[in-house]
Amino acid sequence: MMKAMRENTKIILWIVVVAFIITIFAVWGLDLQTGGMTQQQNNVGTVDGIAITPQAYQAIYTQLSQQYRANSPSADLTSAQQEMLRQQAWDNIVSNVLTGREVERLGITVTDEEVLNMIRSSPPPEVQQYFQDAQGNFDFAAYQQALNNPEADWTSVEQLVRQRVPVVKLNQYLMAQVHVSQSEITRALQEEHAKMLAEYVAFPIEEEAVEGSGPTDEDVAAYYQAHITEYQSPEQAVLDVVRLPIAPTASDRDDLIYGATAIREDIRPGASPDDKDSFASFAKAYSESHTASVGGETGFVGAAQRDPAVIAALSTHKPGEVSPVISTADGVAIVQLIATKKERGETLYNLREITMKLKAGSATVDSLSLKAQDLQQAATESGDLAAAANAHGLEIVTSQPFAKGMPVPGVGYVPALSRFGFAGAPGAISGVIADDNNFYVARVQSRTPAAARPLAEVSATIKNTLEREAKTEAARRDARAFLRSAVAPEASFGKVAEQYGHDVAKTDSFSVATPVAGLPPYSAFARAALAGQPGDVVGPVASGNMVYVIKITARNEPDAAAMSTKVAAMRDRLYQQKVQNYVVYWFNQLKENSKIEDLRDAQS
């Protein structure tokens, strides 16, 4: 076990995991290059001058993909999931470098005593997993026994802990920046547990009449200048894209039928389901349907639930008979009828099935890949993707402008293609990019820097905003006039509402943390009610599409003794939330103040 643990620890040293709040795992020791431009053209990126080598990037990606396959052994690693893991590997490297430099900046050091204490009292999870009791919990006694074994080599564990301690200390430093006050705890408990009843009058914003003809052009221009940062358009790219669909051919269907026929010939119709040559056994081994795990048995299904060709074959079979290979819309099927019955005039079939999906075979994929590579080479040599596509009998699609990380209009969400739009210079030709369904070759047609959208483009939106603000203010004026009358001495909330021609609505019991008056939890309505006392009339309160004047009619304060038992848990919850928000802010500041170059697609 110790040998396995040592080997696992060596692998773990290549993993970069950033999990702030609970703990931050950032392992230093990657194959990174600091300073200089050695082999710069081959690097996948830089972080503040630290070059990220392909070896470091690939090592982390490989580890992440191995973890994915270990956690989901029966699932395919699709191109979309591979792309997700590639991005995670990149993000982990960036996080690793930034947190490592912050450790250095803060002067965080590691002593032998700290390493020893962590090994003795709280070993990393990578170590704890090898010392678990029958319930899956860390067996500290067994761990201590192993520690006392003089023949055990703990060198790799010591190296791991020595790298982990600075991150733990950085985590402690960040958590120490956060404080939760008693007033915050009290407020949060009141929002969850104080119950209220209220009456209210609502002033619909959209029903308000606004004097004049609406916002003028001068009003719109002034608002535009005052809020110009809100109308910034991000950097955008336009791509020319040639797509080669990875579609199965007639030859692929013939191959599928041939393989399915071989399976059909080996099935013994009368065999017991447990026999290796029974239909059920072959279904478990070869079927791609969700019914494979139960030997292909479907239970009773109707005609609408299976391919018409399957239903046609079943209608001619007797129970126990096995069909020949049936071509379906998406592949082939072999079925064995178990029983039929009539229900409400419809024939239902209980059957066993083996379904196999039609996919592009390796020869088809290889042929398309070669065609895509020929296209890419021709486009690169000529610099003219359109001419190369035409020579290969392919169409070219020009996208609409799109921003980083967004789908390519007319193509869809292909992350590598989207990234290329911002990695290559205008005129650059991509390498062959592939997902599960297509090969792509692209050219960067143009790139537009970030800039404010033209006033003419946003004028209508600004007019709507100004009209909404004017209506909201009109509703507030009406609500303020109503409020002045409602709080007058001896005034009756209901009679004042009647005088103003408004209806009074009543709430059910509510807290700030629950919906009220058709509004979501934690609404401005509920918080305004909590700020008042029974008998108070408060407002105007804009919430949703209304402006409200609210009369608090009752309030049930939470029991002090009961609340005292909830203080610790609430403090912990608020603390975790504040730590999370602070760490996200802290890390975003690190990124904003760093120069990060993602060159993964620049050489495509």
What type of residue sits at position 418?
S
- 471 closest CA partner among 217, 271, 204, 243: 204
CA–CA distance, 9 with 160 (Å, rounded to integer):
7
Starting at the earlier edge strand, list the strands of the sheet with 331-343: 297-301, 346-357, 331-343, 326-328
CA–CA distance, 38 with 34 (Å, rounded to integer):
9
Instruction: Please check whether residue 511 is in contact with residue 194, taking contact to mean a CB–CB distance below 8 angstroms.
Output: yes
CA–CA distance, 34 with 101 (Å, rounded to integer):
12
pLDDT one-digit tens code per residue, 84-135: 898 899 999 998 899 888 898 899 989 999 999 998 888 888 888 888 888 8
Q: Is residue 188 part of a domain?
A: no
231 DSSP 8-state letter: G
Pair 239, 257 in one domain? no
Please, which residues have CB within 8 angstroms of residue 187's CB and are 6 or more apart in sequence?
Answer: none
Instruction: Please check whether residue 27 is in contact with residue 72, taking contact to mean a CB–CB distance below 8 angstroms.
Output: no
Pair 15, 115 in one domain? yes
Assigned token pair, 134: 């029958």
Pair 111, 36 in one domain? yes
- 440 closest CA partner among 476, 397, 499, 482: 397
Instruction: Please check whether residue 357 is in contact with residue 340, taking contact to mean a CB–CB distance below 8 angstroms.
Output: no
Q: How many Å separate Cα 544 from the centre of its chain?
A: 28
Q: What is the CATH number of the domain that holds 307?
A: 3.10.50.40
CA–CA distance, 3 with 156 (Å, rounded to integer):
10
- pTM value is 0.68
For the chain, how many structural domains are there in total? 4
Q: What pLDDT, on a 0 to 100 scale, did the predictor assign at position 261?
A: 96
Residues above pLDDT 90, as percent of the chain: 62
CA–CA distance, 513 with 193 (Å, rounded to integer):
8
Decide if pLDDT at 172 tops 50.
yes
Pair 547, 502 in one domain? yes
Q: Is residue 28 part of a domain?
A: yes
Q: Is residue 59 part of a domain?
A: yes
The CB density around residue 282, as the number of other CB atoms within 10 Å, is 25
CA torsion angle for 509, 512, 517, 520 (degrees, to 10)? -130
Give 213's pLDDT tier (boundaries 50, 70, 90): low
Pair 380, 506 in one domain? no
Pair 408, 471 in one domain? no
- 295 closest CA partner among 305, 303, 284: 284
* DSSP-assigned letters across all residues of 483-500: HHHHTSTT--HHHHHHHT
Q: How many Å separate Cα 239 from the centre of its chain?
A: 26
Decide if pLDDT at 26 tops 90.
no
Q: What is the CATH number of the domain that holds 481?
A: 3.10.50
Domain final residue pick, 357, 373, 399: 357
Decide if pLDDT at 310 tops 90.
yes
Q: What pLDDT, on a 0 to 100 scale, did the predictor assign at position 41?
A: 57
CA–CA distance, 88 with 78 (Å, rounded to integer):
15
Pair 367, 334 in one domain? no
Give 67's pLDDT tier (boundaries 50, 70, 90): confident
Mean pLDDT of the chain: 88
Pair 222, 102 in one domain? no
Q: What pLDDT, on a 0 to 100 scale, did the predictor assign at position 40?
A: 52
Domain final residue pick, 319, 340, 357: 357
pLDDT one-digit tens code per residue, 351-390: 999 999 999 999 999 999 999 999 999 999 999 999 999 9
Domain final residue pick, 398, 431, 449: 449
CA–CA distance, 411 with 414 (Å, rounded to integer):
8
Instruction: Check the CA dihedral 260-263-268-274 and report its sign.
Output: negative
Pair 109, 240 in one domain? no
pLDDT one-digit tens code per residue, 426-467: 999 999 999 889 999 999 999 999 999 999 999 999 999 999
Instruction: Please check whether residue 197 is in contact with residue 529, taking contact to mean a CB–CB distance below 8 angstroms.
Output: no
Residues above pLDDT 70, as percent of the chain: 92
Instruction: Please check whether residue 31 is in contact with residue 43, taking contact to mean a CB–CB distance below 8 angstroms.
Output: no
Instruction: Please check whether residue 258 is in contact with residue 327, taking contact to mean a CB–CB distance below 8 angstroms.
Output: no
Q: Is residue 424 part of a domain?
A: yes
The 3-state DSSP class for residue 197 equals strand
pLDDT one-digit tens code per residue, 251-282: 999 999 999 999 999 999 888 888 888 999 99
Pair 21, 144 in one domain? yes
Pair 227, 299 in one domain? no
Please, which residues have CB within 8 angstroms of residue 119's CB and are 6 or more apart in sequence?
Answer: 147, 154, 157, 158, 161
Q: Is residue 142 part of a domain?
A: yes
Question: E strands along 344-419, which residues?
Answer: 346-357, 396-398, 402-403
Q: Is residue 111 part of a domain?
A: yes
CA–CA distance, 127 with 125 (Å, rounded to integer):
5
Q: Is residue 543 part of a domain?
A: yes
The CB density around residue 341, as the number of other CB atoms within 10 Å, is 10
Instruction: Please check whether residue 336 is in contact with residue 322, taking contact to mean a CB–CB distance below 8 angstroms.
Output: yes
Pair 140, 163 in one domain? yes
Q: What pLDDT, on a 0 to 100 scale, did the predictor assign at position 271?
A: 86
Q: Is residue 411 part of a domain?
A: yes
CA–CA distance, 225 with 205 (Å, rounded to integer):
26
Domain that holds residue 334: 250-357
Please, which residues have CB within 8 angstroms of residue 19's CB and are 6 or more apart in sequence?
Answer: 25
